[in-house]
Chain A
Amino acid sequence: MSCVDLNQQYRGAILKKTVFGIVIFSALLVILVMSLAVGSLTIPIREIISALLVNKESPFYYVIWDLRLSRAFGAVIAGAGLGVAGAIMQNVLRNPLASPFTIGVSQGAAFGAAFAIIVLGAGQTHMTGNEMVTLKTPYLVASCAFIGSLLTVAFILVLSSLRNITAESIILAGVALSAFFGAATMFLQYFASDMQVAATVFWTFGDIGKAGWRENAGMFVTFLLPFAYFLKKRWDFNALQWGDEVAQSLGVRVRRLRIMSLILSALIVSVATSFLGIIGFIGLVSPHILRFVIGSDYRFLVPYSALFGGLLLLLSDIVARTVMAPVVLPVGIITSFAGAPLFLYLLLRGRRM
């Protein structure tokens, strides 16, 4: 095979991966429209377009703009963040099981929320007509959850740097801190009232409906900067897959890359978790599904994990809203129900984990 043939074959492989990206993006757009159309009230496509063109005369204008579009946008941004954070953590922690929750970010957030609800009294909850438990001061809960998850990351980085910040030491520190925060949350719940315990449990259910436009904007802004950093470092992530020493010999500053990537991934996840609650499996499964199609090339895996994570969470939210309509299930239940068997299937196929 001549060099010219190899060049052409390589360009063909790149074209295929690019086309695959266009397919994911198109599918995301289709599902986005679907998510605007379906729900307890089905809205015709014509009416959706009319409302999206800011036709305030449309009877569905407020349903589309204030409810469904905000919800769909929230799902796409949160899913994109979780997907890309999963892909990055699997790389820098050199562990296929790594996800935003492996290092204890969610347990830290759950502890923060429990602290706000039980200790700070943010959990003055009440039962609505539908017997739903709601939080009266959700921003305090979100802020404490955010602080809790960031504290986890700070702890892990400090603990790991006491000796040497290897991928293994970060994972082990994460396991230890997860257990610690889990125990601390249980301790708080043990002395809490029934309503406070219910509110804490309610908070942990990941639910897209908790966020409005303001929260979405927060998630979007927090997603952009880390995403740009990850895109810039795509070659460094490719190098790191071959080991720290190879990456270093290719000019990668491994320690800095690992710390920055962890902090930025944790930031994305912390913001999403504090606004929406715990949404599992998107960060774990999205990159693995993509690896089956495009391999582990981070030039493509970074942007596609974001697109595919958004797509998966949006799809899960549609299922959450329709499977037991008019009851809207928390999306975290759907992602875990669907994600666990999917992950097992990927595990059994095995080769590219």
Chain B
Amino acid sequence: MLRVESVSFAYGDKKVLSDVGFELAEGEVSSLLGVNGSGKTTLLKIISGLLKPQKGKVIVDNKAIEEIGSQGLSKTVAYMPQKTNGVFCTVFDAVLLGRKPHIGLEVSGHDIETTSRIINMLGLEHYAFKYTTELSGGELQKVVIARALAQEPKILLLDEPISHLDIKNQMEVMRLLVDITKTMNLTTVIVLHDLNMAMRFADKFLLLKDGEVYAYGDRDVVTPQAIRDVYRINVLVAQYMGLSVVIPELS
């Protein structure tokens, strides 16, 4: 579904990504892990077409994204940036905006119905006509996810979607993302800083170190050694009720 081939990128002289390559399947949540500045956000922006790599390419459905074009890409890939502030529009209008790539001259009945369906699916119906500036952080994050889903994308890219949320909202949003990935058969890539959230909810793990892929695979790749190499911190990976739990060492 999504293939990244030997992608390299630099901001001026500063090399950010170097020869990054991997392939992601449908119906899976992949978490992008690495220290600040390791190139996670840049990689997400390259996949979404916001940045152009100096070398390599991104293939979606066997087509390079340059061939798909910005309009076509907006129907295939939905991107959610790190931080979102509310806007003086209602939740319904914010989600309807996700239909923009599909809207012709005017909003169609299908656009309105799709918006309503997604609002219901994400449980936003009780505040559908509230302004998004009046929402809590968790509610707003769900609205942004709903807008992304209204694009009817095949690939969902999220940059730290739970960083500003409390633990309850973090759990809710992550559960939601896993559910929609499975039910809508999406390819979802999430940048996460919380290793435990990643271990709990992601199917695949891509560890970036200094702009290069350190490891990619399922839970087995997230070993104490890998975390030590990538994050430069000693950890224990313990098992608790069938879950892998990452515990940083105090020393």
Question: Which A residues fall within an 8 A CB radius of B?
Answer: 1-4, 6-7, 9-11, 13, 235, 238-239, 241-243, 245-246, 248-251, 253, 291, 295-297, 351-352
Q: Mark B60-97, 1 if CB is under 8 A from A, else 0.
A: 00000000001101100111110010011110111011
Question: Does B100 lie within 8 Å of A6, measured CB to CB?
Answer: no
Known: A1-B125, A9-B129, A242-B84. A295 touches B79 (CB 8 A): no
Kindly provide the distance from the CB of A20 to the nearest chain B CB, expressed in whole angstroms.
15
CB contact between A13 and one of B98, B120, B129 (< 8 Å): that residue: B129
Question: Does A239 lie within 8 Å of B120, measured CB to CB?
Answer: no
Q: How would you classify the secondary structure of chain A's contact residues: helix, strand, loop or mixed?
A: helix
Q: Does B48 contact A (CB under 8 A)?
A: yes
Residue of A13, A239, A251, A351 with most partner-chain B CB within 10 A: A251
User: How many residues of B are counted as interface, with CB atoms below 8 angstroms from the partner's CB atoms?
Assistant: 41
| Of B111-119, B188-196, B215-223, the one touching chain A | B111-119
Closest 3 CB pairs of A and B: A251-B74, A296-B88, A6-B116
Known: A10-B92, A295-B89, A296-B88. A251 touches B119 (CB 8 A): no
Kindly provide the distance from the CB of A287 to the nearest chain B CB, expressed in whole angstroms.
11
Known: A1-B126, A251-B73. A245 touches B90 (CB 8 A): no
Known: A250-B97, A251-B70, A295-B93. A7 touches B112 (CB 8 A): yes
Chain A residues closer than 8 Å to B73, beta-carbon distance: 251
CB contact between B97 and one of A2, A238, A243, A248 (< 8 Å): that residue: A238
Question: Does A295 lie within 8 Å of B90, measured CB to CB?
Answer: yes
| C-alpha spacing A291/B89, complex, angstroms | 9
Give chain B interface residues in 16-44, CB to chain A under 8 Å: none
Chain B residues closer than 8 Å to A251, beta-carbon distance: 70-71, 73-74, 100-101
Chain A residues closer than 8 Å to B48, beta-carbon distance: 249
Question: Does A351 lie within 8 Å of B133, measured CB to CB?
Answer: yes
Q: Does B50 contact A (CB under 8 A)?
A: yes
Kindly provide the distance from the CB of B237 to the nearest chain A CB, expressed in whole angstroms.
34
Question: Does A250 lie within 8 Å of B151, measured CB to CB?
Answer: yes
Chain A residues closer than 8 Å to B151, beta-carbon distance: 250
